[in-house]
Structure 1
Amino acid sequence: MKEKLPNSTLILIFGILSIIGCCCYGLFGIVFGILAIVLANKAKELYYANPDLYVGYENVKTGRILGIIGLVLSAISFISSVIMIITAGGIEGLMEMQREIYGSGF
């Protein structure tokens, strides 16, 4: 009887969360993307050592791909957020720009 590959479902979930996390200034996406990739690499090594013992490698492959995509998107989001804050003159400058755009109710 074959065993389920350890953390295969968790890797898939982390991969999905890395893509969703890119919307939060990239920070959560970077964390979940790195976790998905590291766990997937460990699971891949375990699977390749003895592929006849395990099932669930599809989740590992999919989670790893999603983790890479999420990591790239999150890095772009994070870098663009940092550039936006720097060019606006810091957090205070960014808040002032938003007040000008949205009015004093912001």
Structure 2
Amino acid sequence: MKLTKIDSRKTRLPYSTAVLVLGISSIALCCCYGVPGIATGIISLILYKKDYATYSKNKEKYDNFDSLKTGRMLSIIGIVMSSTYIIYLVVVLNIYGMEAVSNPKLLFEKMR
């Protein structure tokens, strides 16, 4: 019985690192009024979709699908956190006004 050598070298998905970095940055940027966090999260999800299509064509060829999935989850979390922060800002603006958003002491005084 003759054993044949199988090419076991796997390649990396082209955007997996970018998806992971953008997912992390979407969480980090959620505190910057929410907009950068949503933008980086959406870009991350678009890149995920491209890489997932590439991965689903030939699953045995790629080895870093786990980091792609992690980046997707982080970008979803970042989008949710950014959206929540934007909703919070809109509510505070409607209830307390622009002065309270820019001055935390005034916000706490109006809340009492």
Q: 2:92 aligns with which of 78, 84, 88?
A: 84
- The 8 Å contact of residues 27 and 74 in structure 2, kept in 1 or not, is answered as yes
Q: Please, which of 53, 63, 69 is the counterpart of residue 77 of structure 2? A: 69
**Distance in 1 separating the partners of 2:40 and 2:72:** 11
The count of aligned residue pairs is 100
**Residues 1:59 and 1:79: Cα distance change in structure 2 (over 3 Å):** same
Residue identity in the other structure for 2:51: A
Cα offset for 1:83? Answer: 1.6
Shift of 1:77: 0.5
Q: Kindly provide the CA deviation profile for residues 24-47 of structure 1, in whole angstroms up to 9, marking residues without a partner as x.
A: 121111111111111112111110
Query: Structure 1 residues 98, 43: closer, same or farther in 2, change over 3 A?
Result: same
**Structure 1 residue 82 displacement after superposition:** 1.6
| Stretch moving more, 6-15 or 21-30 | 21-30
Bigger radius of gyration among the two: 2
Runs (5+) with no aligned partner, structure 1:
none
Structure 1 position 39 matched with structure 2 position 71: no
- 1:98 is displaced (CA, Å) by 4.3
Residues 1-106 of structure 1 aligned to structure 2 (within 5 Å): 1-89=9-97, 91-92=98-99, 94-95=101-102, 98=104, 100=106
AA matched with 1:14 = L
The TM-score with structure 2 as length reference comes to: 0.78
Distance 1:65 1:94 in 2: 31
Corresponding letter in the other structure for 1:29? G
Runs of 5+ in structure 2 lacking a partner?
1-8
